[in-house]
Structure 1
Amino acid sequence: MTDLPTTSPAFDLIIRGGTVIDGTRAPRFQADVGITDGRIAVIGPLDNRTAAREIDATGRIVAPGFIDSHTHDDSAVLVDPGMTCKVSQGVTSVVTGNCGVSIAPLKPGSPRPMPLGLLSPGGGQVAEFASFADYVAALRAAPAAVNVAPMVGHTSLRASVVSDLGRAATDSEIGAMRSHVQEALDAGAIGVSTGTFYPPAEAAPTAEIIEVCRPLTGSGGVYATHMRNEADQVTQSLEESFAIGKALDVQVVISHHKVVGPANFGRTKETLPLISKAMSCQCVALDCYPYNASSTMLHTDPAKLQVKVVVAASGPHPEVAG
C-alpha cells in the first residue's frame, strides 16, 4: 500500500472504497486504486486525489483480471478478438490448447476426428496452422482482448503425424511429434496437453506420451491432461499422470478433476488424498469446474454412456438437440 504525494497529478481513473484482493495470497484489504495510462499507479488512500473518472466500489471486490485456466478458445481469439464472452466476466487471460486439442500444429488436409471439432464450435471453417509459430504470429498480428497462454495438443499432433489413430505411434512418428513439440515451445507454447480419454489418443501408451513430451524437460513448461479415465479407473489414471510428470520432471496439471458416474460419486475421498500425496514429492496441480455436468463429444462406448446424456447440438441432426 503506497501513499501518494499531494503534488501528484490527477489520475485517469480512481476505484474508490473497494475491498482489494490482489492475487498475492495476502489477506483482503480496503483501499482505493489509482490508474494512469491504463496501469495501476497506486493502491492506498486517495481521499484527496481526483481523477477524470471515478468508480464507487463500496461493498465490492476489486481484483486483477481472472485467468480462465481451461479453455478451448484457440479459434475464438482469432475469430472474435473482442472476446466479450470472457471479458464481460472479468477474464483477462485464457489458457488454450487443453485436452490434447490445439489449433496448431495441424497438417493441412489431415483428419479432424472429434474432439478436434472443439476448434470450430460454430461448425465453420477452422484456420490451419502447420506450425505453432504461424499461430503465434496470427495472434500477434491481430491481438485479442485477452492474454493467450497456448499449449500444444497431443491429439492434434497425432492427427497430423500418425497414419492410423487406432494404434500406438511408431518411433519415427514419435520423433516427428517430438520435433513439433520443440518447435511449439520455441514459438511460445507454455506446455503440452493430452486427451487420452478421447479415441484419437486413447491408443497412445504411456511411453508414447513421455517420448513425445521429452522437450518439456528443463523447459519450465507444463504437462496438462484430460486423463484416460475419470470413472472406475480414475486412480490408475492419476498414477499414470504422476508417472509421466516424474519421467519428464515437469509440472502436472490434472484437468477438470472429478469422478464420473453414480457408482463413483464420493470417490474424491480417495483421489484428493492421492493428489495431495503426489504434491508432496512433485509439482502437481488441478483445476475443476463448479457445476455437476460436463460437456464433451458423444461417445459410442457403452461404458461412457451410463449417465444421463443430453444432446446440446448436432449439425447433421439438429432435430435431436435437447
Structure 2
Amino acid sequence: MSADPMSVEPTLIIRNGTIVDGTGAEPVEADLALAGDRIVGIGDFGAQSAAEEIDARGKLVTPGFVDIHTHYDGQAVWDKHMAPSAWHGVTTAIMGNCGVGFAPCKPEDREKLVELMEGVEDIPGPVLHEGLNWQWESFAEYLDVLEKLPRDMDLGVLLPHAAVRVYVMGERAIQLEHATPEDIARMREISADAVRAGAFGFSTSRTISHKSLAGDYTPTLRAQEAELTGIARGMADAGAGFLEIVSDWDEPDPETEFAMLRRIVEDSGRTAVFTLNQRHNRPDFWRDLLRLAGEAANDGLSIRPVVAPRPIGILLGLEGSQNPFSGTAT
C-alpha cells in the first residue's frame, strides 16, 4: 500500500476508514483518495489535502454493492431515489426479476401486469396506476423512458417472462396454455430485440407462490422447455444475457427440472442463476440444488445459486397476497 505523493491531485480524500475492497483481502485501515470518479490512491495521506475530505473513522469503505434482485420496475419510472437499496450502499440494482415487469405491454394488458406485480410483490395497485405513465409498448421503449430520468444509482433491467408471454399470447398466457411454435418464434424475436436494446437478461418464475391479486398463478408457471429454450436462443441470437429463474423444482422433482435447465443452458450457451430455496416437506432441498449446481459447474456449465445475505421477512395479512392460511390445504 503506497503512501507516496500522488501524481494526480485528489478532489476527495476519505480518511481513516476500514477499507474492504471486495477481493477477499483482509480489511485495512487507510485513507482513500479520488480524483473525480476515479480512485487514485490508498494509503496514509496525512500531508495531502483535497477540496473535500470525509472522516470515515469507525466506518466501512467499500465498493458500491450490486443488488441483484429488486422490483423497482414501477418505482424507477417516477422516482429518482431507489430506496431502500440506496440506503444501504447499493450503487447498481437489477430489476425485472421473477418474470414480472411492465414491458413489453399492449394497452389492453396493462391491468393484467399491474395485478400480477401487486400480487407477487405486494406493491399497491393504486400506487402503480398513479405512477406508471405507460409511454411505451416495447421493451426498448421502456428502457428509453427509464433513461430520461436521472436517479441515485445505476439500473440493470431483465426482460420479464410474464410480460412477454401476455404480450404474445394474451388471455391464453393467463390460462397457462402451452405456447405454439409461432408464439415461441415471436418470443425469441422479442428476447433478442430486448437484449440488443440493453436488457441484462431474462427472468422467469415457476413457483405457485407467485400469484396475481386475483389469485391466478403467474402466467409463466407451466411454461414448457421449448418455450424457455426459444427465449434463451433469442438471447444467444443477440450474443448476451443470462437467465434468472425462481422455481419450486417440482416438475416433477428437482433432478428432472434441473436437467431441463441444464439442457436450456447447453443449447443456448447462456448462463443462469436460480434462487436457492428450501421446502418445509424437504428440509435438505437446498443441498440437492447445490449438488446439482456443482455437478453442472464441473461440466463447464454456469448455473449459479443465489441466496439472500440476510433472513427474509414476510408480511402476513388477511387482505394480503400472503396470509396465515396460504399454506393450508383448505
TM-score, normalised with respect to structure 2: 0.81
Does 2:195 match 1:185?
A: yes
- Alpha-carbon RMSD across the aligned residues, in angstroms, is 2.9
Other-structure match for 1:246: 266
Give the letter aligned to residue 277 of structure 1. Answer: E
Give the letter aligned to residue 248 of structure 1. Answer: S
Question: Match for 1:221 among 224, 227, 241?
Answer: 241
Pick which of 100-109 and 123-132 moved more.
123-132
Q: 1:96: how far off?
A: 0.9
Q: Given the superposition, is the C-alpha separation of residues 8 and 131 from structure 1 closer, same or farther in structure 2, using an over 3 Å criterion?
A: closer
Question: Match for 1:146 among 133, 146, 153?
Answer: 153
Give secondary structure in 2 for the equivalent of 1:202.
Answer: coil
Provide Cα deviations, 1:244-272, integer angstroms capped at 9, x if missing partner.
212211111013x11122x2223323222
Distance 2:145 2:311 in 1: 34
Give secondary structure in 1 for the equivalent of 2:183.
Answer: helix
Q: 1:292: how far off?
A: 4.7
Does 2:296 match 1:278?
A: yes
1:12–1:35 CA contact under 8 A, matched in 2: yes
1:227–1:238 CA contact under 8 A, matched in 2: no
Q: Given the superposition, is the C-alpha separation of residues 41 and 6 from structure 1 closer, same or farther in structure 2, using an over 3 Å criterion?
A: closer
Q: Given the superposition, is the C-alpha separation of residues 138 and 4 from structure 1 closer, same or farther in structure 2, using an over 3 Å criterion?
A: farther
Question: In the TM superposition, what are the counterparts of 1:42-53 in structure 2 within 5 Å?
Answer: 42-53=41-52
Distance 1:210 1:292 in 2: 31
Give secondary structure in 2 for the equivalent of 1:106.
Answer: coil
Q: Given the superposition, is the C-alpha separation of residues 295 and 157 from structure 1 closer, same or farther in structure 2, using an over 3 Å criterion?
A: farther
Give the letter aligned to residue 265 of structure 2. Answer: G
TM-score, normalised with respect to structure 1: 0.83
Distance 1:28 1:266 in 2: 34
Distance 1:252 1:191 in 2: 9
1:202–1:228 CA contact under 8 A, matched in 2: no
Q: 1:209: how far off?
A: 0.9
1:3–1:44 CA contact under 8 A, matched in 2: yes
Q: Given the superposition, is the C-alpha separation of residues 227 and 120 from structure 1 closer, same or farther in structure 2, using an over 3 Å criterion?
A: closer
Give secondary structure in 1 for the equivalent of 2:194.
Answer: helix
Question: In the TM superposition, what are the counterparts of 1:1-322 in structure 2 within 5 Å?
Answer: 1-5=1-5, 9=9, 11-110=10-109, 112=112, 114-117=115-118, 121-123=123-125, 124-125=128-129, 126-128=132-134, 129-163=136-170, 164-165=172-173, 166-197=176-207, 198=210, 199=217, 200-217=219-236, 219-229=239-249, 233-255=253-275, 257-261=276-280, 263-281=281-299, 282-289=301-308, 290-293=310-313, 298=321, 305-306=327-328
Q: Which runs of 5+ in 1 are unaligned?
A: 308-322
Q: 1:83: how far off?
A: 1.7
Distance 2:291 2:116 in 1: 31
Q: Given the superposition, is the C-alpha separation of residues 103 and 48 from structure 1 closer, same or farther in structure 2, using an over 3 Å criterion?
A: same
Give secondary structure in 2 for the equivalent of 1:70.
Answer: strand
Distance 2:48 2:250 in 1: 54
Give the letter aligned to residue 207 of structure 1. Answer: A
1:210–1:248 CA contact under 8 A, matched in 2: yes
Give the letter aligned to residue 272 of structure 1. Answer: L
2:72–2:82 CA contact under 8 A, matched in 1: no
Other-structure match for 1:314: none
Q: Indicate the percent of aligned positions where both proteins have the same amino acid.
A: 27
Q: Which runs of 5+ in 2 are unaligned?
A: 211-216
Distance 2:102 2:6 in 1: 52
2:279–2:285 CA contact under 8 A, matched in 1: no
Q: 1:232: how far off?
A: 8.6
1:103–1:119 CA contact under 8 A, matched in 2: no
Q: Given the superposition, is the C-alpha separation of residues 250 and 7 from structure 1 closer, same or farther in structure 2, using an over 3 Å criterion?
A: closer
Give the letter aligned to residue 193 of structure 2. Answer: E
2:11–2:34 CA contact under 8 A, matched in 1: yes
Moved >6 Å (runs of 4+): none
Q: Given the superposition, is the C-alpha separation of residues 259 and 230 from structure 1 closer, same or farther in structure 2, using an over 3 Å criterion?
A: farther
